[in-house]
Amino acid sequence: MSLFTYKADELFKWLTEKEDIFVVDVRNKKDFAKFKVEGPYPFELLNIPYFEFMEFEKECIAQLPPDSKIRIICAKEASAKYVAEIIYKNGFDDVGYLLGGINT
């Protein structure tokens, strides 16, 4: 696969159909604590703020399960795109980021 964008309705479909995805929310801890993506079934969700990827790239990458379908979300899209590019260049081949951000 490759680096790609996806829409909120696709994320909803993956979560309701129990798709095997790993969601990384790159918003700051404060915003993540206020609300986060939820689904009707349990799914893998990790909060790693984008600035941590800037400072501690290898440590952040090490927290991600290899060979996973990684889906990145952020507030408005730009940070998710930035982090998705980092993850992709580190050998993950199925990486998508939410078009328009979490508010969509």
Q: Do residues 45 and 21 touch, judged by C-beta distance below 8 A? A: no
Q: Which of 83, 89, 85, 92 minimizes the C-alpha distance to 65?
A: 92
Token pair for residue 49? 């703020």
Active site residue 74: yes
> Which one of 21, 60, 74, 86 is the catalytic residue?
74
**Residues that are catalytic:** 74
